[in-house]
A and B are shown apart, each in its own frame.
Chain A
């Protein structure tokens, strides 16, 4: 009798917990579902048909968004920016972190603390002098300018993460490589980089998300439509006079799909990376 009572109470408790968790999960997913649903409707049905599954489903909006809405161009630009920034960050940050961790040169610590300090000082208006600088050196409204700015945004954090990783790495393999006649660059490429794969994975994921989702520098630096990434393109389309909500929703879906795919494929790394940061911090 007592055991039964305990069981019922336990069942009720877990049902309650699941109901709460499931309803929060619903509120997380529903807006995305609504976006997808709205992207499959025509401009007339979108205002009248409020059923969860619309009575008439069309896919034209995606073609319209891709071609007339320029989202094809924006998408390719986002891909170009994300890939180049991430490649640059991985190479530059791992070179620097390797040197900070393993090599000796005068001024090493001062330079390293400069990068750490940059992470700790918030400077919300720093985009103003940055834009002034970019205009002055002629890098405003160029791909390379935006790529370099975004590389700088992710650099300090990546150097710090990789240095912590290299510090913990045993040096036996490096010694072996040195005996085999490897130079510093050879050790970096053949030993340090392959061993740092887990840390590099975290850096790649977080910087990809960051560049793909970035808006404000793209807004300030890029005014040529053919250079704009997706987030900027979405705002341009939203602000234009063409009031076409289904196509806007299709554009949003185009911007969201790669993120969700990367997220689902990499969620273990993402959550682990974030969680380890929480415990260390």
Chain B
């Protein structure tokens, strides 16, 4: 009976598909509840005025966004994040690249350096922030500086440099940015070193035979070969640094009025501080838009770099 076998094979196939689908079901359920639903809900909430508790949510259209457009503190926080990002792009990545170049050769203790440089990136931002807060502490106790940095400055005869590092608005953000670089450079170092080591050594030999010196070898061989890896590092640095905020919470808390705020701490403040959940979501959507624009910008640059 051919008809019957046909039917049962169809049934079998449906059953097979179903059991295969069961393999992705747990992942799909968790992903839908904890990622997809909040993903759409953030857009929905951003159009409402809501205090997070009451049953009443008022639909306000794009009011939150137009309020955000003229919110000076918000744009100040965006600028602060950009400041940290620019510091990370220059200071952190230049240091990472220089160290990677130094390690890209037969050198003793290479593995030791590699392990030590990657130590700060595996620590949590809370731990890093609290340790540096302790070192940068500017309080005095019985005429002595508590913090190590100020103590050292006095000891080395530079008392005029003693400073309230984390409570002075002028220096707080820079201190945070420097600690952020301290925590992050080892990660860029590992990525860049891995890239350097994929470059064929014969290229260097050929450059040497052609009479190129160290600088022109770097400029004409190393740098062009490194463009793809450098772009990956740059994009990840930008996305990571723009969204860095736990370090700020652990180093200065949310106390310093607006001078060390970044967008994510503003979102937290809208949510926990003044209970404006809709406004917090609008901030989240706006910041996501900014990040996506930055990503697209770098994607265009990298496409252009690949053509050349």
Q: How far is the CB of A53 from chain B (nearest CB, A)?
A: 14
A234: nearest chain-B partner, CB-CB: B126
Residues of B within 8 A of A35 (CB): 131, 134
Most chain A beta-carbon neighbours within 10 Å: one of B120, B131, B267, B271: B131
Q: How far is the CB of B25 from chain A (nearest CB, A)?
A: 9
Q: Does B62 contact A (CB under 8 A)?
A: no
| Interchain CB contact under 8 A, A263 and B135 | no
| Interchain CB contact under 8 A, B23 and A98 | yes
Contact with B along A231-246 (1 / 0, CB 8 A): 1001100110000010
| Interchain CB contact under 8 A, A125 and B287 | yes
Q: Does B141 contact A (CB under 8 A)?
A: yes
| Interchain CB contact under 8 A, B135 and A31 | yes
Residues of A within 8 A of B191 (CB): 274-275, 277-278
Given A106-B17, A184-B19, A278-B229, A271:B41 Cβ within 8 A: no
| Interchain CB contact under 8 A, B113 and A21 | yes
Contact with B along A262-281 (1 / 0, CB 8 A): 01100100110011111101
Q: Does B27 contact A (CB under 8 A)?
A: yes
Residues of A within 8 A of B122 (CB): 209, 259-260, 263, 270
Interchain CB contact (< 8 A) of A132 among B45, B119, B123: B45
Q: Does A55 contact B (CB under 8 A)?
A: no
Q: How far is the CB of A113 from chain B (nearest CB, A)?
A: 12
Q: Does A1 contact B (CB under 8 A)?
A: no
| Interchain CB contact under 8 A, A133 and B37 | yes
Most chain A beta-carbon neighbours within 10 Å: one of B16, B37, B123, B191: B123
Residues of A within 8 A of B (CB): 14, 17-18, 20-21, 24-25, 27-29, 31-32, 34-35, 38, 47-48, 50, 91-93, 95-96, 98-100, 103-106, 108, 111, 114-115, 118, 121-126, 128-133, 148-149, 151-152, 155-156, 159, 184, 188, 209, 212-216, 231, 234-235, 238-239, 245, 248-249, 252, 255-256, 259-260, 263-264, 267, 270-271, 274-279, 281
